[in-house]
Structure 1
Amino acid sequence: MSVQNKDYASTVLNPFLKDIVATLLVKRPDEPLPFLMNLLQKKLGREGQLSEKAELHMLRKEVARLKLQAEHGSEDEHSESAEEDTVEELPQKPSHPNRHRSAVSAEAYGKWNKKEDFRPRVIPKTQETERHLSERLSTSFMFSHLHGTEKNIVIQAMEEKKVTNGETVIKEGDDGNELYIVESGNLKCYKKIAGENKHIKDYSSGDAFGELALLYNAPRAATIIADGQCILWSLDRECFNHIVKDAAMKRREKYVEFLSKVELLTGMDPYERSQLADVLKTVTFAANDFVIKQGEEGNVFYIVEEGNAVATKIIQPGQPAQEVLRYAPGDYFGELALIRNEPRAANVQSVSDLKCLVLDRHSFKRLLGPLEDILRRNAKHYEEIPTKAQKSR
C-alpha cells in the first residue's frame, strides 16, 4: 500500500469505519443494510429527501435479497421466490415543499417486524406456580427488569422441562430456539477450546443460559450438560424476541446513555459501554440505609444513578465515624476493596432514596480492568482524606 493510501486510511477511513461499526454494535439492528442507509443519509444531511418511490425501490431490493438468502440458507423452511415478493405502494399524499418527511426504513415497514402479529403461547399453570415463577424471574438478571403485562406474558409462555443426569440440554454450534432458567439441579458448561471441551462454569438454581443464541441470532456458544436430575423452565425465541429482547435493548440504551456521562467511563468506546450496560444490576436503598460498612468484605462496585450518599470513616479507634466524602449521580464507590482485595475502607450511607448500578467482582475485573490504573490513581485521593480530617479537628 502506498504512503498516500496509508495516510488516507488512518486519517479518514479508520475513524469513519470505527464510528459506523460502534453504532451498529450498540444499536444491533435486525436489518443492518436499511439501518446503514438511513444512518448515512443523516450524516450527509439528506434525511427525508428521498422520494417515497425511491425508498420503496430500495425496500423491494432488500426484501428480495433477504428472501433469496432465506431460500438458500435453510433446508427446512420454504419461502416464495424473491421476484414474487412486493411492497405495496404507499398512498400518495399532497406534497408540502417546506415540510420534511422522516425516512422510511425496512425495519418500520417490513411485515416480519410487526409486533401486532405476535401471539404468545400460553401454557396453563397453577396460581402457585405463576407466583413462584414471578419470584424466580425477579432474581434473574435477564428478566428482573420486566413488570406487569410483559412479565405475565413471559410467565404464561414458559414451559417446564425435566432432564436426566448426563443429558445434553444445548450443544455448541447448534441452532438455538429456547433459553432456560434453572429451577433445581446443577448443570455444567463446556466450550471447545484448542480442540478440547473445557469445563468453564456451572449453572445452578436461578441461573439462566442459552440467551446468547437468541440475542445475537447466532449458533449455541457452548454445550450444557445436566449434572444430575434437573428441572428447567424454557422460553421460546418468539416470546423472547418480542418481550424480553425489546425490553433488554431499551434498558441497554438507557444505561449506555447514562454511562456516557460518568466521568470515569468517558474513555470507553460505545461498544465497551454497551457490554458494561448488559451486566449492570440495579439496587435501591431507602434514606439512611447503609450501602456498605467499614471492615466488611467487599465484592461489589457501585455507580450512583439517582439520589445522594455520604461516606463516613472511623479514623481513630473509639471515636465516632467522620464524614469524608459525598456522592451524587454519576459518582462511584466500592472499587478499593476490589482492587486491593481488602475489607471496605469506609461506610457509605444513603442520604435520600438511593438508586445504584452495581457490578460484581468478576465483571468489574473483566470490564473495568483497562481502567484500573485510573482507579488506583484516584485511590491516592482517598488515602489523603483521613490526614486532612485529622488536621481539621
Structure 2
Amino acid sequence: MIQKKVLSSSDESSEDEHVEDLMDKQKLVQAKANKPTRTSVSAEVYGQFNKKGQFQPKKVNKSEDAIKRIKQRMSQAFMFSALDEHELAIVIDAMEEKKFKAGDFVIKQGDDGDVLYVVDQGQLDCFKVFKKGEPEKHLKVYQPGESFGELALLYNVPRAATIKAKTEAICFSLDRETFNHIVKDAAAKKREKYEEFLSKVELLKDMDPYERLQIADALKVQKFNKSDYIIRQGEQGNTFYFIQKGDCIATKTENGTEKEVYSYKVGDYFGELALIKHEPRAANIVAQSEVIVVYLDSDSFRRLIGPVDEILKRNMSRYEKYVKK
C-alpha cells in the first residue's frame, strides 16, 4: 500500500528553537556566558560598525595547478552550488591550501570556528559527542570534494563536531569574512528552505540537525511537465522526492490496466524507502500539472552521512518498521 506523507510547517517553531537544535542547551548557555563578543548564535548582523559594503575581497597567491584543483573541488561541494561565476572567482582567490598529517585535528567540537574547509586530498574522520559524558561517536569519513566547518560560520556557534585527519590530507580553507559576504546568503537560504521538509520525514527523524543541514545542501531541483512519469513501476529505485510545486498521482498497472491509487500535493514526499531498500518501485508517480520536485539519491546520502540504516538503528523500533515494509 502506498502511504501519503504530508509535511506542514509548525507555527510554534521559532528561530531560537531552531538554533538550540544545533547546540545542546548547556553549550548554548556556556557560549553566551563565556563569549561576550559572540552572545548570539544567529546570523552575522551588519550595522553602523559592521557594514557589509566595506568588504574587501581577500586574494591569496596560488599556482595555476592549485586554482584548477580548487575549481574541481568546488564543483563537487554542494555548499558552492548556488554561486555565479563572479562569486566563484572571489572565493577561489580567497582560499588557502592547508596540509595535515594523519592524526592531526583540523577542528575540535566546542571550539570557535573562523574558517570552513574543502577536502582536496586524503580522508578525514568526523566525530561527535551527542551528550556530555558519553563517548564520541564516529559519524562519517570526509572524502575529496566534500566541505565541512560551515555551520560555525552560518550560525556563529562553536564547532558542532571534531574532524581528524585519517590519512595525510590537503584541504582548502575559506575565511569567515569571504564566506559571510559571498557564500553565506545563498547557502543559508537553501538550507532554511529545505531543512523544515527534512525534519518532518519520519525516516530521517533520528538524524542530528547538523546531518539534516548537510542533506539540505545536497538536494537538487528537477522540473516535470504534465503527464510526465517521475518514477515508473518496476524500475530500480535509488532516489526520493519532495513536491515543491504542482500535483501528482500514484498509479499501479495490473493486468495491463493502469489505475490511480493515490494523489500527492505540494509538501508531500515519496520514494524515501529507496534510501534503505534497493527494490523495484511499487507504483508509478505521474505529474498532473507542471511539477517541481527536490530530490536526493541514495549515493549522495551515503557520501554525506553514511548508510541510512545506521541512522535508523539509533531508534530500533523505527528501523524494524522500515525493514519490514
Paired position in structure 1 for 2:84: 147
Tell me, yes or no, if the aligned pair for 1:336 and 1:345 is still in contact at 8 Å.
Answer: no
Paired position in structure 1 for 2:182: 243
Paired position in structure 1 for 2:221: 283
Tell me, yes or no, if the aligned pair for 2:73 and 2:119 is still in contact at 8 Å.
Answer: no
1:294 to 223, 233, 247: 233
Query: Against the structure 1 CA distance between its residues 27 and 151, is the aligned structure 2 distance closer, same or farther, given a 3 Å change threshold?
Result: farther
Tell me the CA shift for residue 351 of structure 1: 6.7
Paired position in structure 1 for 2:25: none
1:226 to 165, 174, 192: 165
- In structure 2, list runs of 5 or more residues that go unmatched: 1-10, 21-34, 202-207
Counterparts in 2 of 1:232-381, with a 5 A limit? 232-255=171-194, 279-280=215-216, 281-285=219-223, 287=225, 291-307=230-246, 309=248, 311-316=250-255, 319=256, 324=261, 327-335=264-272, 337=274, 342-348=279-285, 354-358=291-295
Tell me, yes or no, if the aligned pair for 1:26 and 1:274 is still in contact at 8 Å.
Answer: no
Tell me the CA shift for residue 207 of structure 1: 1.7
Tell me, yes or no, if the aligned pair for 1:337 and 1:345 is still in contact at 8 Å.
Answer: no
1:314 is paired with a residue whose SS is strand
RMSD: 4.6
Paired position in structure 2 for 1:208: 147
Query: Against the structure 1 CA distance between its residues 329 and 127, is the aligned structure 2 distance closer, same or farther, given a 3 Å change threshold?
Result: farther
1:120 is paired with a residue whose SS is coil
- Higher strand share goes to which structure? 2
2: CA distance, partners of 1:153 / 1:286: 34
State the Cα deviation string for residues 223-255 of structure 1 (Å, max 9, x = none).
212122222121111111222222223334555
TM-score normalised by the chain length of structure 1: 0.54
Q: Supply the AA of the counterpart residue of 1:279.
A: I
1: CA distance, partners of 2:140 / 2:14: 30
Paired position in structure 2 for 1:22: 14
Tell me the CA shift for residue 147 of structure 1: 2.4
Q: Supply the AA of the counterpart residue of 2:220.
A: T
State the Cα deviation string for residues 68-104 of structure 1 (Å, max 9, x = none).
9449x9xxxxxxxxxxxxxxxxxxxxxxxxxxxxxxx
Tell me the CA shift for residue 181 of structure 1: 1.4
1:240 is paired with a residue whose SS is helix
1:186 to 113, 116, 123: 123
Tell me, yes or no, if the aligned pair for 2:70 and 2:172 is still in contact at 8 Å.
Answer: no
Tell me the CA shift for residue 202 of structure 1: 1.2
Bigger drift between 142-151 and 292-301 goes to 292-301
Paired position in structure 2 for 1:118: 55
Of structures 1 and 2, the one with the larger relative CO (CA 8 A, separation 6+) is 2
Tell me the CA shift for residue 285 of structure 1: 4.3
Paired position in structure 2 for 1:54: none
State the Cα deviation string for residues 167-213 of structure 1 (Å, max 9, x = none).
22122333221111112221112234635444332111222111222
Tell me the CA shift for residue 290 of structure 1: 5.2
1:251 is paired with a residue whose SS is helix
2:79 is paired with a residue whose SS is coil
2: CA distance, partners of 1:191 / 1:273: 12
Tell me, yes or no, if the aligned pair for 1:313 and 1:323 is still in contact at 8 Å.
Answer: yes
1: CA distance, partners of 2:46 / 2:109: 34
User: Number of aligned pairs?
Assistant: 272
2:254 is paired with a residue whose SS is coil
Identical aligned residues as a percent = 43
Tell me the CA shift for residue 326 of structure 1: 5.6
Which is higher, the Rg of structure 1 or of structure 2? 1
2: CA distance, partners of 1:128 / 1:312: 52
- Higher helix share goes to which structure? 1
Paired position in structure 1 for 2:107: 170
Tell me, yes or no, if the aligned pair for 2:240 and 2:296 is still in contact at 8 Å.
Answer: yes
Counterparts in 2 of 1:55-70, with a 5 A limit? 69-70=36-37
Tell me the CA shift for residue 116 of structure 1: 0.9
TM-score normalised by the chain length of structure 2: 0.63
2: CA distance, partners of 1:277 / 1:170: 18
2: CA distance, partners of 1:191 / 1:274: 11
2: CA distance, partners of 1:291 / 1:228: 41
Tell me, yes or no, if the aligned pair for 1:158 and 1:234 is still in contact at 8 Å.
Answer: yes
